[in-house]
C-alpha cells in the first residue's frame, strides 16, 4: 500500500475548510486540468455520510471512472471517502481538520493500492505516488485560495 500524508495550513475557520473539502463543485474546479466531472450520485453541492459520487476524468491520456463513498463523517473534524469502484485495488482518503492558532490545519492521508501485484507496486512507487501527491497539492491550493478569500461564498453559501 502507498500512503501520502499532506498538511495544509489555512487561515480560515475549520467549518469553512471542512465544507470546501467535501464540495463536489470545488473538486471540479481543482481538477479542471484532468477534465474531471461528477457523472453519478452527488454531482453538485456538499457530499455527506453514506453518499457517493462517480467521477470521470482523464489521467495518463485515458478516460477513467472512480466511484467514491463517504464512509466516515464527523463535522467539522474529519471525513473519509473510499473507492467502491474504479481502477485501483483500493483507495481510501482520510480528511482531518483541526484548529491551531486561529488557523485550520487540514491533513490528508491517502492510502491506495494498484492492481497487478508486483507490477502495480512498482507503478505506485515510480509513477503514481508523485502523480497523486501533485493532484492533492493542487486540490489543497485551491481549497486554501477559496477559504482565505471571499471565493468560498461562490461554492458553499447556498448549500
User: Beta strand pairing status for 90-100 and 103-113?
Assistant: antiparallel
Higher pLDDT, 135 or 64: 135
Average model confidence (pLDDT) across the chain: 91
- Give pLDDT, residue 158: 57
User: What pLDDT score does 87 carry?
Assistant: 84
CATH code for residues 2-156:
3.30.530.20
Name, in order, each residue with C-beta under 8 angstroms of 79's C-beta and a sequence gap of 6 or more: 18, 21, 22, 49, 70, 72, 73, 95
The rounded Cα 9 to chain-centroid distance in angstroms is 16
* pLDDT at 159 (0 to 100): 52
Pick from 16, 13, 21, 19: nearest CA to 108: 21
Q: For residue 122, name the pLDDT band (cuts at 50, 70, 90).
A: confident
Q: How confident is the model at residue 34 (pLDDT cuts 50, 70, 90)?
A: confident
Amino acid at each position: 500500500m502507498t500512503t501520502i500524508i499532506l498538511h495544509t495550513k489555512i487561515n480560515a475557520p475549520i467549518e469553512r475548510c471542512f465544507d470546501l473539502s467535501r464540495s463536489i463543485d470545488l473538486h471540479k474546479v481543482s481538477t479542471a486540468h484532468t477534465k474531471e466531472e461528477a457523472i453519478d450520485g452527488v454531482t453538485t453541492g456538499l457530499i455527506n455520510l453514506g453518499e457517493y459520487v462517480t467521477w470521470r476524468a482523464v489521467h495518463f491520456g485515458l478516460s477513467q471512472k472512480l466511484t467514491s463513498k463517504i464512509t466516515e463523517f464527523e463535522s467539522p473534524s474529519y471525513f473519509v471517502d473510499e473507492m467502491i469502484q474504479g481502477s485501483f485495488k483500493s483507495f481510501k482518503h482520510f480528511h482531518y481538520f483541526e484548529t491551531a492558532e486561529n488557523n485550520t490545519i487540514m491533513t490528508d492521508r491517502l492510502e491506495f493500492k494498484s492492481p497487478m501485484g508486483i507490477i502495480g507496486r512498482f507503478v505506485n512507487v515510480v509513477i503514481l505516488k508523485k502523480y497523486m501527491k501533485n493532484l492533492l497539492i493542487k486540490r489543497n491550493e485551491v481549497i486554501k485560495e477559496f477559504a482565505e478569500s471571499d471565493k468560498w461564498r461562490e461554492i458553499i453559501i447556498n448549500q
